Amino acid sequence: MLLVDKIAVIHGAGGAIGGAVARAFAREGAKVFLAGRTLASLEAVAADIEAAGGRAEGAEVDALDAQAVDRHADAVAQKAGGIDIALNAIGVAHVQGTPFAALSLQDYEYPITVYTRSNFITAQAAARHMAKKASGVILTLSTPGARLPGPGYMGNCVASAAVEAMSRHLAGELGAQGIRVVCMRPHAIPQAAAMGSHTQDVFRPMAERAGVTVPEMLADAAGGTLLKRLPTLDEVANTAVFLASGYAGAITGTVANLSCGFLVD
């Protein structure tokens, strides 16, 4: 197992990606502390982990509330002896597909504010405890929108690009303290949309405008990748395991491209 006795905090752990990563971390030996705004979703993930022989605890925490996140991180560190891994996997439904001329300032700003604020708050809370041990891994999430010229993805584009920039800067700030920072950039994940996550809410309006279903829209997107498919939740979760493990000990300040070749670095 790659993460034996590691302590991991996952914000957005009740969602599709957060839950998949939590299960994978626990499978690899980590004790996982699940945080999110919907306790029932966290408890469902924790139940899956415990049924498989893993260790998990859930707590209702708003990743946009700095004081609440700090309290949670302090409680985890006090109980478990520190924090080794942190992942921000929160997701919010936001406007995509609206042309710039018709996009409201509020709809543009919303994803930028949510994703930059939450990633700052959660990374800072975890880093304070990682620095005490001179080791740790902070994982973030973006989308291929960070590199796309549009049209119709202005808020998503700027938000994703900002998270990637924050991750690179954090790697520079925290590297001397033994803390690695890596961003993962998966393309759309059909399983996540099928689970009724915020992904479905984001894609549905675009699919309806195109006169297709969300699965049909995603199938078309798969055809635009080099591998002619989209990433799976298992692939994203297993990549997170690798990046959080000692096998990736020399990797920091970069973006892991999980777009199946939609983007080529």
Beta bridge partners of residue 226, listed in sequence order: none
Confidence band for 200, pLDDT divided at 50, 70 and 90: low
Looking at residue 189, its pLDDT comes to 93
Looking at residue 199, its pLDDT comes to 65
Residues 6+ apart with CB under 8 A from 81: 7
Q: Judge whether 108 and 156 are in contact, CB under 8 Å.
A: no
What is the DSSP-derived secondary structure letter of residue 152?
S
pTM above 0.85, yes or no: yes
Query: In the block, which residue shows the tokens 């998503």?
Result: 156
Q: Judge whether 241 and 28 are in contact, CB under 8 Å.
A: yes
The class that CATH gives domain 7-188+232-258 is alpha beta
Least Cα distance to 140 among 168, 178, 173, 111 occurs for: 168
Residues 6+ apart with CB under 8 A from 65: 121
Q: 226-250: per-residue pLDDT in tens?
A: 999 999 999 999 999 999 999 999 9
Domain extents in the chain:
7-188+232-258
Of all helices (H) and strands (E), which one includes residue 123? helix 105-133
Of all helices (H) and strands (E), which one includes residue 40? helix 39-51
Looking at residue 152, its pLDDT comes to 87
Residues 6+ apart with CB under 8 A from 122: 9, 11, 63, 69, 86, 88
| CA triple 95-255-235, angle to 5 deg | 80
Query: In the block, which residue shows the tokens 């199946």?
Result: 260
